Structure 1
């Protein structure tokens, strides 16, 4: 009887998500259209890969050449088939992310997955037709599944599609996973070589100039940019970026974060280690749009697994509320209105950064307690 009620509750969550999600659906999968533009341009005129714009918009193709190769199958089919297929793969990836993060009964897993559709990074990924959940699932599989013989290769391939997964090379280095690092390097190198083989001119343009051009991806001040750089732009009012302050902050964040990843890995908490590394990529990248924050799922699970009962409930409610209600959109936004935010608007508009900081504080606190407990137990056993 209890099992039946679990399934009823899960179905209620599914129905609620199906009702609410269309009300929040936006963007008409415009990023998938850009992906398909890359694939179709590769077929029609590969040299023009970084010159074309999506019809009716200023949006260019901004990804490595290998990403355009991956998108060719979606460019070859009609738009309805591409949209349905992409959405289906994204939903499969969402399920995979949850299954890699936590073990739950089937009914509970169904309810959790359905509820997570309402998290702003997830629904924005679906609305834009973004690739974030697919990459997140690939990386989690590569890091957490220690049984497959070519660990690291999916990290390299993910980085060849979208450069941000390069941060996970740092995780492999600090945890001394040299074999996985070799596979990751080989995988990434293969994607670069494939890009040059398919379109030498466009590949040369990308890797020599466009790779460091953050202006092609949108306004840095936009509230959706939940990175240290976006935060500093909004606080300082400097549209060119955070400048030297940002560089120092990135260096400190990377060094401290990777050191903490090593501690978590040595403690056996691989989910926390890979989640913190994913967070490093979000914080340190010049641009981390809100839909990149699908890492809120593994990071939230990692923190919940560390916290005791009452704190677990409080943190879970707070975490889900922040990423479902998305206060980053409450203050005035677009057209650089973010530069005029008041203090309270800064708090709401940088909510993901604040929530992530609290999550890291919680992980640090309880990892220190875990280390002390391990030392105490060792001393007592002696």
Structure 2
């Protein structure tokens, strides 16, 4: 029954977005096989969409480029669903039947729906990072964070978590993994790699309009509030710096309390907030962060937060106000509340979680000063 319901949910989503991001991934792999130096010049047929990821990501996508499209779509969807199960299993231990129901229900969450519909890679990266941080037994711990960052730069934020928690061996492994992905990129396509790492890496405009309501980052928020298409500017930089410092201090407090899941989940949120662009499908971190909130809160507060958290990410009010074609720049105050709902909800949850931390102000201050 659960499988049938899940299939009814998933298939229309694949038709809706036609897994366009998977097509872009495959475009990267195909270009490496045909003319590797043109990796960042090609566009997906009939669209303005370029390949925007590091060269190593195109290497990873070569096998999918070699598959017929129907096969690639099915295999990619299967991998994504396996990663969704892995994310849940890494976050919480439940009986198999309950876990199956929870996984199926989480398909209703908009970030998960969009990840499947676009054929995005977010759940794979989330699973790799969670495994690397939470499984302290594998000898090369940290390596998968580096590999994930080599595929898509956003997991670099977890290097900060390794630094503030003084996990030097894992940091060395992560650095080696990331460096290996960069070197592989240069070995496969020196020209495209040089272009990417010297100019394209800082060009946020290649990934879409910053004002778009799907951009649930501080930068997107400031663009919409200020009506400035050039981005948040100095205000954004200050906000990013404050968020990073305060957030990593909080991550260390959580880690020292023995709550690794809370630490990595808050760090994942830092990446979403501080990145110039965090599309709604990047917010699959709502799953571990939601689990953390339910684990650390009590009583009626836990119930209320759990219901509201699931509702926000299932109903997705970010799509209620006018959007596309920069109509976000004309939002009213009510539009801003709905259109920035992910950002607002996540920050409120972190504030609530902070109240559950049984550390004195002195302990928190001492922790931050020692970072």
Task: Give the TM-score normalised by the residue count of structure 2.
Answer: 0.95
Question: What is the aligned residue count?
Answer: 360
Deviates more, 1:16-25 or 1:331-340: 16-25
Question: 8 Å contact 1:14–1:111 — kept in the other structure?
Answer: no
How much does 1:363 deviate? 1.1
Q: Which of 59, 75, 93 pairs up with 1:69?
A: 59
How much does 1:309 deviate? 2.5
Gaps of 5+ in 2: 364-371
Partner residue, 1:146: 136
Partner residue, 1:286: 276
The reply on whether 1:273 has 2:257 as its aligned counterpart is: no
How much does 1:14 deviate? 4.7
Distance of 2:351 and 2:255 partners within structure 1:
17
Partner residue, 1:333: 323
Partner residue, 2:366: none
User: For 1:297, what is the secondary structure of its paired residue?
Assistant: helix
Question: 8 Å contact 2:140–2:173 — kept in the other structure?
Answer: yes
**Cα distance, 1:24–1:69 mapped onto 2, change above 3 Å:** closer
Gaps of 5+ in 1: 1-10, 376-382
Structure 1 stretches of at least 4 aligned residues deviating more than 2 Å after TM superposition: 13-26
Question: 8 Å contact 2:13–2:116 — kept in the other structure?
Answer: no
Compare CA radii of gyration and give the structure with the larger one.
1
How much does 1:20 deviate? 4.2
Q: Which of 227, 230, 243 pairs up with 1:253?
A: 243
Deviates more, 1:355-364 or 1:134-143: 355-364
Q: How does 1:183-262 map to 2 (within 5 A)?
A: 183-262=173-252
Distance of 2:55 and 2:4 partners within structure 1:
40
The reply on whether 1:109 has 2:109 as its aligned counterpart is: no
Partner residue, 1:379: none
Partner residue, 1:360: 350
Q: How does 1:74-113 map to 2 (within 5 A)?
A: 74-113=64-103
The reply on whether 1:298 has 2:281 as its aligned counterpart is: no
Question: 8 Å contact 1:230–1:287 — kept in the other structure?
Answer: yes
CA offsets 1:137-178 (integer angstroms, 9 cap, x no match): 000000000011111000000000000000000000000000
CA offsets 1:88-112 (integer angstroms, 9 cap, x no match): 0000000000000000011110000
Two-structure CA RMSD over aligned residues (Å): 1.1
How much does 1:359 deviate? 1.0
